[in-house]
Structure 1
Amino acid sequence: MSLDRTSRDEPTARLDDLAVRVLAFEAHAWQQPGAKAEGIRDEFDMSAARYYRILGELIDSPAALRYDPMLVKRLQRLRDARAATRARRSLSNGRTLD
């Protein structure tokens, strides 16, 4: 995935075809993680890990935010919530009980 731009923060940045397809794919409501992973392989011919790296970069891009602000903000909120859950889990695992 690349953004059609010279600078990451350039206001006229445009999304490439892959970025637009990833955002459209993310707009679907996936009920089962296995089905989504299979869809990623079928649609993009890449591993789920690579797809999620691309998606992570994409949802931080100003161009994606301009393209579909509601979707991108929802994806950012979900990512932030997962990170907070991981942080809480790792803090609770590090505690010792007296």
Structure 2
Amino acid sequence: MTEEQGAAGGGDGGLGERERAVLAVERRSWPGPGAKERAVREGLGLSPTRYYQLLNALLDDPRALAHDPVTVNRLRRVRAEKRQRR
């Protein structure tokens, strides 16, 4: 197990702190452009690119769905709509 997996896994089969924080960011509404990216950089210490990589992986993780089904299902619908438009 890598360090990232250990820190992210939470040990109990649930989501790690970082994954829960990513979902919490997605639950919020943001006042304008740049606010979310600033919160990601300052609050999570992640680049926006890495943040969206983690978020996209979370959308396929059954633990994320169990933790926050409303947010995960909403984001899955948005992702599917974007894929259809391409």
Asked if TM exceeds 0.5, the reply is yes
Q: Which residue of 2 aligns with 1:4?
A: 9
Q: Which residue of 1 aligns with 2:63?
A: 63
Give 1 or 2: higher helix fraction.
2
Larger-Rg structure: 1
1:37 CA drift (Å): 0.9
Structure 1 residues 21-60: aligned runs within 5 Å: 21-60=21-60
Gap runs ≥5 in structure 1: 6-11, 88-98
Equivalent residue pairs, number = 80
Give 1 or 2: higher strand fraction.
1
Q: Deviations over 1:17-49 (max 9, x none)?
A: 101111111100124231111111111111100
Q: Residue type matched to 2:69 in 1? A: P
Q: Partners of 2:13 and 2:56 in 1: how far apart?
A: 17
Q: Residue type matched to 2:59 in 1? A: I
1:83 CA drift (Å): 1.7
Identify which range, 38-47 or 52-61, moves more after superposition. 38-47
Q: Residue type matched to 2:17 in 1? A: D
Q: Secondary structure, in 3 states, of the residue corresponding to 2:34?
A: helix
CA root-mean-square deviation? 1.9
Q: Partners of 1:31 and 1:73 in 2: how far apart?
A: 23
Q: After the TM superposition, which parts of structure 1 deviate over 3 Å for at least 4 consecutive aligned residues?
A: none
Gap runs ≥5 in structure 2: none
